[in-house]
A and B are shown apart, each in its own frame.
Chain A
């Protein structure tokens, strides 16, 4: 097999004849001696890839450290606009999703197909919840001043609400928005001249992290599809779901560090 040819994919070849589950039909690549060796190599390869991911974020962490060292008060000030309650909730959501991911791998290892699929979709949903919280409760109010009506952060600002939309579902707080990165910063009540820099770091770090969440969710969805269509994962072959899991845990890992660094400064 020296040509990229999807038809030679042993899983794809036999979609209708689903009698034999995909994982049993799997044949390792022609250059491997055993399936185990291939699995081992894939895991090693994936760890190397994870190392590159960590070092990608390393740049952000170094930037964070230098800037916080230079402008400690800008960071304290900026951080005080983040609501630790949402941050904590998001941490819990990601930890739960990490658990469901690990459990789903375990299910596939034990050939519990249904359990595995349920856990996979749970992971996906947790990811979705994470993004929803991030975008609707964190980014949107800070950038535009629009809150969702049931945001617990809102009652405090009730006296400043100056607009509504969608029948009161969204409420606008006067002067709250404009906490954008760099030159787009237009929040008028900042205490520190370098606060835009804090927001730059905040949006870069959480934004790139959110991008990774999205990539991870895509991978999970793809695994789910293959699990449903081909029963692709089972005791002897679960490489892809395992590596997706590793990726997802890495996303969690990064967040474990981002959370205190961004939300718990004072």
Chain B
């Protein structure tokens, strides 16, 4: 490992050697707040994104729990004995018990009683609450949590560090994109506060252009998503330029960590697909406000055109969600099994391949609505996605072979990812095949499938990455035991919640149903119980992290023995990341030939050295 003095660092008034951690407060409370609010430091922006995303995750999670709780009990009409004011049974003239009809099972309606008393106990009111809850859950989780989760928080923090750069290419743009994200989220939250949106996160026309016609909530939510698109574009644009222009000396394209490759592919999709959702949502707003008719059948427009517009963005964006997860896993598995990743180039090209193919398959969301030729072509192309994805999974498992696997929390999560994502990926096959999709489309099977991919893939990996890099980000270690307990709880809760839903789907339970036929109830109850276990698991993680921040042991610079450049920086990194500009002399995963930076046997033993070496 050689380093070269960074002459620019010297120019900068000798900040280089003795500047403090980026977390060091700059002064009093308000000074510090102002410093963070106006920072252009990618690390601080990454942390701010992390906070914002976690908050939105909390909101979206609440909505999910509301949805699950409502489904605990099918809504049903029952005859109950009427009572008088004193609570005594009400009898009619002949002395017979008077019966009355009551609707039971509307949990949300009991919690949030309507302003208008007359609506209490009506089907519509209970359903409206449910519809708003699942729309809220979907819109928040997709637009405000999963899309920015790994790219904007971990990506922002670690891309420059992994490239050996001082910052992203356009730091001010980076800050701007955070503010745009916050603005978009505020729009969305406002739409909830003034009554909520019941369109589903897909905003399908003509329903979305006609529902709640007298209110502005749908427009607000759509504008929120539109604004969030800008944030996504700016982040992606920034990363592409950073990767092109700011690699450390010595770092060729194939010396980049695979996380960078994944983020690069992600950014390409973000830049190329997001503008289309921009114009789509804009046209939707015009449609709602001015009835321009492009998506409105009564004026000659076409709802299927809207679906094409929408999925041209929203399918690639599925890979915006999952590709960063691939990147994180490609980091965690080699580091924690201390072995060079298997098939580096295959994984790198698979990332690009997924990015390319993602633009060819959006029509598989529309098999039930699309024309026959379109459906057939899209089905054939859809299976193409499986190949690069499968290659990646094989590579990760092959990496484990003959490694030295430490079951740390991040690694545990990575293994869980392999388990869950395999299920998610494989259940994509019956959805990609035309005949079976006509049965499974818009059923709970789809719900289960994409939760296995989006949550089992992305959110689980987000948490894995957070555990992997937490010591680097905040300079504190966390309690591994309790973190592992949390991980197992999440795993159990997750499978309980979503595995049951595969069976619901094949048996015929449609999505977005506020009430259902009663034989689905058993599975729904299991699913709901699972969601509570999931909540418990995330709460354990929350407490582990809080404990770590308050009372955690100070983290060493390289707690896991990683070889990528971020482990060369201090924990937490100094304000300009590196005291000297690093020069890359080894590959990111050359564990066999390289002693990791800051190696210290007290912190962690190297597998190929005896424990008492050093």
Contact = CB atoms under 8 A, between A and B. Distances in A.
Interface of A: 1-5, 29-31, 33, 37, 40-42, 44-45, 48-49, 51-60, 62-63, 66-67, 70-71, 74, 181-184, 193-194, 196-197, 200-201, 203-204, 208
B294 A196 contact: no
Interface in B253-290: 271-276, 278-280, 282-283, 286-287, 290
Nearest to A53: B275
Contacts of A183: 290-291, 293, 299
Contacts of A197: 293-294, 299-301
Interface stretch (B34-42, B49-57, B195-203, B523-531): B34-42
Nearest to A67: B294
A197 B298 CA distance: 11
A67 B499 CA distance: 43
B305 A66 contact: yes
Contacts of B233: 49, 52
A33 B8 contact: yes
Interface of B: 8, 12, 22, 35, 38-41, 44, 160, 165-167, 169-173, 175, 233, 237-238, 240-241, 244-246, 271-276, 278-280, 282-283, 286-287, 290-294, 296, 299-302, 305, 308-309, 575-576
A208 B294 CA distance: 15
Q: Closest 10 CB pairs between A and B?
A: A59-B279, A183-B291, A2-B41, A200-B292, A31-B166, A182-B292, A55-B275, A4-B38, A182-B293, A31-B167
8 contacts: A2-B576, A3-B38, A31-B160, A45-B170, A71-B300, A197-B301, A200-B286, A204-B283
Nearest to B270: A52
A204 to B, nearest CB: 7
A198 to B, nearest CB: 9
Given A3-B38, A41-B169, A57 B279 contact: yes
A196 B293 contact: yes
A59 B279 CA distance: 6
Contacts of A56: 275-276, 278-279
Nearest to B295: A63
B35 A3 contact: yes
Nearest to A54: B275
A45 B238 contact: yes
A264 B266 CA distance: 40
Given A59-B283, A196-B300, 18 more contacts: A2-B22, A2-B575, A3-B39, A31-B246, A41-B169, A41-B245, A45-B170, A45-B237, A49-B233, A51-B272, A58-B275, A60-B279, A67-B301, A182-B299, A183-B290, A184-B290, A194-B300, A208-B279
A4 B39 contact: yes
Given A63-B305, A183-B299, A29 B171 contact: yes
Given A59-B280, A66-B302, A184 B8 contact: no
Contact of A181 (B169, B241, B274, B293): B293
Interface of B is mostly: helix
Contacts of A44: 240-241, 244-245
Contacts of B286: 200, 204
A30 B8 contact: yes
A147 to B, nearest CB: 24
A196 to B, nearest CB: 6
B175 A63 contact: no
Nearest to A6: B38
A182 B290 contact: yes
A2 B175 CA distance: 11
A5 B305 CA distance: 46
A67 B576 CA distance: 54
Contacts of A74: 300
B300 A58 contact: no
A146 B240 CA distance: 50
Contact of A52 (B169, B271, B293): B271
Contact of B293 (A4, A70, A200): A200
Contacts of A181: 290, 292-293
Contacts of B166: 30-31
B245 A182 contact: no
A45 B169 CA distance: 9
Contacts of B282: 208
A125 to B, nearest CB: 29
B396 to A, nearest CB: 31
Contacts of A184: 290-291
Contacts of A203: 292
B241 A45 contact: yes
Nearest to A2: B41
A4 B175 contact: yes
A41 B241 contact: yes
Given A31-B167, A45-B169, A196-B293, A3 B40 contact: yes
A58 B292 contact: no
Given A30-B12, A183-B293, A200-B294, A41 B244 contact: yes
A63 B283 contact: yes
Contacts of A59: 275-276, 278-280, 283, 309
Given A51-B271, A53-B275, A60-B279, A5 B293 contact: no
A208 B280 CA distance: 13
Contacts of B283: 59, 63, 204
Among the interface residues B39, B40, B274, B309, which one has the most CB atoms of the partner chain A within 10 A? B40
A201 B44 CA distance: 43
A31 B165 contact: yes
A190 to B, nearest CB: 13
A101 B217 CA distance: 42
Given A41-B245, A55-B275, A196-B299, A49 B293 contact: no
B40 A4 contact: yes
Contacts of B244: 41, 44
Contacts of A49: 233, 237
A40 B241 CA distance: 9
Nearest to B175: A4
Given A30-B166, A40-B245, A52 B275 contact: yes
B242 to A, nearest CB: 8
A203 B245 CA distance: 40
Nearest to A60: B279
Among the interface residues A49, A51, A52, A60, which one has the most CB atoms of the partner chain B within 10 A? A52
Nearest to A29: B171
A201 B305 CA distance: 14
A29 B42 CA distance: 14
A210 to B, nearest CB: 14
B315 to A, nearest CB: 15
Contacts of A2: 22, 39-41, 44, 167, 171, 575-576
Given A60-B279, A183-B291, A70 B302 contact: yes
Nearest to B237: A48
Among the interface residues A30, A44, A53, which one has the most CB atoms of the partner chain B within 10 A? A30
Nearest to B286: A204
Given A41-B169, A41-B241, A55 B272 contact: yes
Among the interface residues B8, B278, B293, B575, which one has the most CB atoms of the partner chain A within 10 A? B293
A29 to B, nearest CB: 7
Contacts of B241: 41, 44-45, 48
